[in-house]
Amino acid sequence: MNNTVQYPHTRFIGCQECQVLHPILHDSGRLSGDAQEAAADAFDEFLTAHTAHALIELQRQGSATTSSGPVWDPLARLCFEVSDGQQNLLVTAQRTAIDEPREYRFVSGRLASSAAVVTIEDSNVRRGLDRQFFPHAVRPSKIDSFVGMLREVVSQIDADALEIAFDDAEDPAVSIARFPDESYDEVVTRCFEIFDAAEMSSVSRFLAANRNEDGLLALRVRQDFRVLA
């Protein structure tokens, strides 16, 4: 499982005296035209500014990249690990204005992750299942039992076994995954203990329509990180 912000650069040149670094130009090879030229100029400027200093090559460590804000926010501060082969360093990348390039700085440290927690937005599930029965009604106690059962099944899902579909656009600590087949089959089976035969046709349609990562049964995988000095 990987539920962290994706970041393209993997290799950097760092200045040990100034504790700043810059992506190695090769990592900008995907760019073209004016963007490629600007990247080349920025890289040359960095080398010129630090040519008399001790420079080291740094390599990304792992895939974790945390963000201080939504993944779409260009002003969000990013944080990830690099290494010079002997020690791990913590990089922050941020910009002060949307039209400015990111500035990269590093300090000693690393990212430590908490255990991933898998949840579901049960308030949306309640509303969605209730709408599924419209214009008829289902007893609220049955919806309560369904949501309780769903929570129980979700609590048994192994976050590391999930395939992440995409990151939550608003919360960088959360990623979205499809409801796994085995757990989905368990939910279907246990629904027969809650709903009667006439209700099961509506319940089955609701489950089938919402089992994927874009449906109401989408799993929310939260994994928080903290900085270790």
Helices (H), the chain: 33-49, 122-132, 140-155, 181-191, 197-210
Residue pair 202/191 in contact (Cβ under 8 Å)? The answer is no
Q: What are phi and psi of 199, to 5 degrees?
A: -85, -25
pTM of the model: 0.75
Give just the sign of the alpha carbon dihedral 228, 163, 125, 216.
positive
**Spatial separation of the C-alpha atoms in residues 14 and 56, rounded to whole Å:** 5
- pLDDT bracket for residue 2 (50, 70, 90): very low
pLDDT of residue 31: 57
pLDDT of residue 26: 59
Structure confidence by residue, pLDDT tens digits, 94-113? 999 988 889 999 999 888 88
- Mean of per-residue pLDDT scores for the chain: 90
pLDDT of residue 46: 94
pLDDT of residue 119: 97
CA 207 to each of CA 183, 204, 211, 218: distance values in angstroms, whole numbers, following the listed order: 12, 5, 6, 11
Residue 221, number of CB atoms within 10 A of its CB: 23
Residue pair 19/106 in contact (Cβ under 8 Å)? The answer is yes
**Spatial separation of the C-alpha atoms in residues 36 and 217, rounded to whole Å:** 42
Rounded mean pLDDT of 163-188?
A: 93
